[in-house]
A and B are shown apart, each in its own frame.
Chain A
Amino acid sequence: MRDETALIRAAQGGDADAFEQLVYSYDQSVLRLAFNLIRSQEDARDIYQEAFLRVHKNLHTFRFDCSFHTWLYRIVTNLCLDHLRRRKVRREEDLVVQTEDGPKDRLDSVPETSADANPQHRLLNGELRRRMEQVISELTPRERAVFQMRHYEGMRLRAIGEMLGTTEEAAKNCLFRATQKMRTALGEFT
């Protein structure tokens, strides 16, 4: 198997197999990030498509000034942030949406991850999840992105700052505000 630098150079030279391998190396985490940030399968699919089309179109401009991972995630997070900002304006963040079959809770489409068979725990988990989804949806797009990348993707704040085109300190402040809001909102559960 070729190393990543060789793959990128080959893909820059038009080797479509190399590009395919690059996509396969990163697309699961790209989709997971978009899905968790946007919380909509359809929109995450659009972000995935747009991100990799941009990568394909602009790969020749990649100069190895940063890692490919950082470059790719910068594209993905920018697309997600733009999307979240637009959605904020359109006020589509409500947890309950109107469908043909009547009002539907968006959380119902998010799979339950706990295996706890205790109904009381399930209820509590359900309520907690609902509250968390609510508070996450109320974070600013930037706070949401930083929180998501730090808490769920396990990225360091320095790398997050680099991806978002800001400093480590600014990313730290974003994370601080996000956790502060959550602490306030989830106080009664802890």
Chain B
Amino acid sequence: MNCESVKSRLSLLLYGELSFHEEEQLEQHLSECLVCSKWMQRERIMHAALDLSHAEAPPALLAQCRRDLLAGLRTQSEVRSADWLGLWQRWFTAGSWLKPVGAAALLAIGFFTARLTSSDPGFGSGFGQAGVTAARVKLVEPGESGQVRITLEETSRRQVMGRVEDQDIRQLLLRAAQDGADPGLRGDSLDLLKGKSEALEVKQALQRALLSDPNPGVRMKALEALRPFAGDNEVRSVLAQVLLKDEHSGLRTQAIDLLVMNKPRDMVSVLQELMQREDNDYIRLRSQRALREMNASVETF
């Protein structure tokens, strides 16, 4: 394997897309060729730099998309129903003998169309309803005289206004910050709460979101809000967990930038552990530099 063919395969090596045999050959060459190992170093830096260009879709955009989708699905259902209605109307005018059949069919269509377009019992319960009250069929059972009894579960909407300092408002925001279904809502709530992050319950909610929110955009917001508290022991411990466990390299990058700011001795073991498991070159370099600056070993033995 010559230098040119090695150079052309370096990025594939970093992506882990070479066969075992190719990888072996390449590693062998790199261990012997100084020029190519320098190319490898440059390739690693470029890979790390490319992470900078990754943008996370804002959580509010996701919420908007879901609302649009709900509306789109309703329109789709209405168009389909209207198509069927047109077909049946043509049938209806085709001949008088068909009229009783057509009438019965239109009645059935009317019933099902109303179900599809008004209550829309399925899709949309979590996406938000346009009406004031959203109803969901909870229980159906036979009633007396051939009737049926249907139990509906209804959710009413109302608005409350107040300042974030108000305890009730804050509690609602804290609850919304944990809404499992809507990352847009969680992100917006954290945004509103972050001005009050000195309050213990808010700080705890931010730490919780940073550690366990499934949406990286929301976690990023939580991390931003915790930035002023990067010196707190508790926050630093959360940042260390993010650094070691979060799958999103953008978040790990932010976490290490905050953690190594003051050359913290108590983070040496975390950084050493990081050196053993981290794939991102930028984070590895930052960690390596911080360890050297603290005269700590880069590896654990």
Residues of A contacting B254 in the complex (Cβ-Cβ under 8 angstroms): 113-115
Q: Is A72 an interface residue (CB 8 A)?
A: no
- Tell me which residues from 8 to 65 in chain B have a Cβ below 8 Å from any Cβ of chain A: 8, 11-12, 15, 17, 42-43, 45-47, 49-50, 52-58, 61-62, 64-65
From A17, A44, A115, A152, B54 is in contact (CB under 8 Å) with A152
> Is B181 a contact of A24 with CB atoms below 8 Å?
yes
Chain A residues numbered 71-124 whose CB sits less than 8 Å from any CB in chain B? 110-111, 113-117
Question: Quick one: given A49-B72, A176-B12, A189-B49, are A28 and B126 in contact (CB under 8 Å)?
Answer: no
Give the chain A neighbours of B100 by CB distance below 8 A.
Answer: none
Interface segment among B117-125, B156-164, B169-177, B264-272: the answer is B117-125
A190, B122: Cβ atoms closer than 8 Å: no
Smallest Cβ distance from B79 to chain A, in angstroms?
Answer: 11
Which of A1-9, A30-38, A61-69 touches B? A30-38
Q: How many residues of A contact B (CB 8 A)?
A: 52
Q: A16-B123, A28-B183, A182-B46 are in contact. Are A44 and B52 (CB under 8 A)?
A: no
Identity of the chain A residue whose Cβ is nearest the Cβ of B73 in the assembled complex = A56
User: Which B120-134 residues have a C-beta within 8 angstroms of A?
Assistant: 120-127
Are B126 and A115 in contact (CB-based, < 8 A)?
A: no
CA distance A166 to B127 in the complex (A): 36
Is A175 in the interface zone, CB < 8 Å from B? yes
Within 8 A of B (CB), among A146-190: 150-152, 156-157, 172, 175-176, 179-180, 182-183, 186, 189-190
Question: B64, B72, B181, B253: which contacts A53 (Cβ < 8 A)?
Answer: B72
Name the B residues within 8 Å of A39 (CB-CB): 55
CA distance A117 to B27 in the complex (A): 37
A34 to chain B, nearest CB (A): 8
A19 to B77 Cα, complex, angstroms: 14
Residues of B within 8 A of A45 (CB): 61, 64-65, 68
Shortest C-beta distance, B227 to chain A (Å), equals 7
- Which of B46, B56, B69, B250 sits near A49, CB closer than 8 Å? B69
Shortest distance between the CB of A33 and any CB in chain B (Å): 9
Known contacts A17-B123, A36-B55: A114-B253 contact under CB 8 Å: yes
- CB contact between A113 and one of B52, B62, B72 (< 8 Å): that residue: B52
Q: Which residues of B contact A17 (CB under 8 A)?
A: 122-123, 125
**B residues at A contact (CB < 8 Å):** 8, 11-12, 15, 17, 42-43, 45-47, 49-50, 52-58, 61-62, 64-66, 68-69, 72-73, 76, 120-127, 181, 183, 214-215, 227, 250, 253-254, 257-258, 261
Kindly list 13 other residue pairs between chains A and B, CB separation below 8 angstroms, not including A20-B124, A23-B66, A183-B46.
A16-B124, A20-B126, A27-B65, A53-B76, A57-B76, A113-B250, A114-B257, A115-B253, A116-B257, A133-B53, A156-B17, A175-B11, A189-B45
A-B contact pairs, 24 of them (CB 8 A): A19-B123, A20-B127, A23-B66, A23-B69, A24-B126, A27-B65, A31-B57, A32-B57, A44-B61, A45-B61, A52-B69, A111-B55, A115-B258, A116-B257, A117-B257, A129-B52, A132-B52, A157-B17, A175-B17, A179-B46, A182-B46, A183-B43, A183-B46, A189-B45
